Structure 1
Amino acid sequence: MSDFADYGRPRRVDGGLRARSARGAIGRSWWSRRFLEVLESFALGTRLTRGRSYARAGQVVRLAIAPGLVSAAVQGSRPQPYEVSIALTPFPARLWSRVERELAGQAFFSARLLAGDLPDELEELFAAAGAPLFPTGVTELKQRCSCPDFAVPCKHLAATFYLLAEAFDEDPFELLHWRGRSRAELLDRLRALRAEATGAPVPPGPVTASPADPDVAGSPVDTVAPPAGAARALAGLSATPLAEAVDRFWLPPVPLPDRPPRLATGPDLLLRQLGPPAPAIGGPGLLERLRRAYRALGPPDR
Structure 2
Amino acid sequence: MNAARGFPAFAPQHAGARFATSWWGRAWIKAMEDTSLDQKLLRKGRAYAKTGQVGPITVSPGRIAAVTESEYDTVVRVEQLTDAAWERFLDQVAAKAGHLAALLDGDMPHDLVEAAEDAAVPLLPAVGDLEPECSCPDWGHPCPHAAALCYQASWLLDADPFVLLLLRGRGEAELVEALQRRDVPAPAPSAGVPAAEAFAAGVPSLPEPPPFDVSFAPPTLVAGPGVDVAALTVLAASAASRARELLLRGWLPGLTEYQDRVRLAAEHDLDLGPGLDAPVRAWRHGGADGLDALETAWTPPRRELARAQALLEAGWEGERPPEIESWRNRWTLGTVQLRYGRDGRWYPFTERDGRWWPAGPPERDPATLLGRPDDSWS
Question: Same-fold call, TM > 0.5?
Answer: yes
Question: CA offset at residue 21 of structure 1?
Answer: 6.4
Residue 279 of structure 1 corresponds to: 303
C-alpha distance in 2 between matches for 1:70 and 1:197: 38
Give secondary structure in 2 for the equivalent of 1:84. Answer: strand
- Correspondence 1:192 to 2:185: no
C-alpha distance in 1 between matches for 2:111 and 2:19: 22
Letter in 1 for 2:105: A
Task: Provide the TM-score with structure 2 as the length reference.
Answer: 0.45
Structure ranking higher on relative contact order (CA contacts 8 Å, 6+ apart): 1
Letter in 1 for 2:23: W
The alignment covers a number of residue pairs equal to 186
- Correspondence 1:178 to 2:172: no
Residue 149 of structure 1 corresponds to: 138
C-alpha distance in 1 between matches for 2:143 and 2:153: 15
Give secondary structure in 2 for the equivalent of 1:59. Answer: coil
Question: CA offset at residue 98 of structure 1?
Answer: 0.9
Letter in 2 for 1:63: I
In structure 1, the gaps of 5 or more residues are: 1-14, 199-276, 284-302
Letter in 1 for 2:22: S
The CA RMSD measured in Å over matched residues stands at: 2.8
Question: CA offset at residue 20 of structure 1?
Answer: 5.2
Question: CA offset at residue 104 of structure 1?
Answer: 0.5
Question: CA offset at residue 70 of structure 1?
Answer: 1.0
The answer (yes or no) to whether the contact 1:19–1:163 under 8 Å persists in 2 is no
The answer (yes or no) to whether the contact 2:13–2:52 under 8 Å persists in 1 is no
Question: CA offset at residue 89 of structure 1?
Answer: 1.1
C-alpha distance in 1 between matches for 2:118 and 2:184: 25
Question: CA offset at residue 142 of structure 1?
Answer: 2.3
Question: CA offset at residue 194 of structure 1?
Answer: 4.6
Question: CA offset at residue 30 of structure 1?
Answer: 1.2
C-alpha distance in 1 between matches for 2:22 and 2:13: 13
Q: How does 1:67-78 map to 2 (within 5 A)?
A: 67-75=61-69
CA spacing shift, 1:21–1:95, aligned 2, 3 Å = farther
> Structure 1 residue aligned with 2:59, among 42, 57, 65?
65
The answer (yes or no) to whether the contact 2:88–2:121 under 8 Å persists in 1 is no
- Correspondence 1:129 to 2:119: yes
C-alpha distance in 1 between matches for 2:84 and 2:115: 15
The answer (yes or no) to whether the contact 2:27–2:125 under 8 Å persists in 1 is no
Q: How does 1:196-211 map to 2 (within 5 A)?
A: none
Instruction: Indicate the structure with greater strand content.
Output: 2
C-alpha distance in 2 between matches for 1:73 and 1:106: 40
Residue 41 of structure 1 corresponds to: 34
- Correspondence 1:98 to 2:88: yes
The answer (yes or no) to whether the contact 1:18–1:60 under 8 Å persists in 2 is no
The answer (yes or no) to whether the contact 1:16–1:62 under 8 Å persists in 2 is yes
C-alpha distance in 1 between matches for 2:77 and 2:100: 28
Give secondary structure in 1 for the equivalent of 2:56. Answer: strand
Rg larger for: 2
Question: CA offset at residue 163 of structure 1?
Answer: 0.9
Residue 51 of structure 1 corresponds to: 45
CA spacing shift, 1:34–1:24, aligned 2, 3 Å = same
> 1:127-179 deviations in whole A, cap 9, x for unaligned?
212232222232x3321110111222111111101111111112111011000
Sequence identity percentage: 33
The answer (yes or no) to whether the contact 1:39–1:45 under 8 Å persists in 2 is no
Question: CA offset at residue 282 of structure 1?
Answer: 10
> Structure 1 residue aligned with 2:155, among 150, 166, 170?
166
> 1:190-218 deviations in whole A, cap 9, x for unaligned?
222257869xxxxxxxxxxxxxxxxxxxx
Task: Provide the TM-score with structure 1 as the length reference.
Answer: 0.55
C-alpha distance in 1 between matches for 2:14 and 2:115: 30
CA spacing shift, 1:104–1:281, aligned 2, 3 Å = farther
Letter in 2 for 1:51: G
Question: CA offset at residue 62 of structure 1?
Answer: 2.1
> 1:21-52 deviations in whole A, cap 9, x for unaligned?
64153111111112112222234572322111
C-alpha distance in 1 between matches for 2:161 and 2:14: 17
CA spacing shift, 1:125–1:281, aligned 2, 3 Å = farther
Residue 27 of structure 1 corresponds to: 20
Q: How does 1:200-279 map to 2 (within 5 A)?
A: 279=303
CA spacing shift, 1:119–1:190, aligned 2, 3 Å = same
The answer (yes or no) to whether the contact 1:68–1:178 under 8 Å persists in 2 is yes
C-alpha distance in 2 between matches for 1:55 and 1:282: 24
> 1:31-90 deviations in whole A, cap 9, x for unaligned?
111211222223457232211111111111121111111111001xxxx51000111110
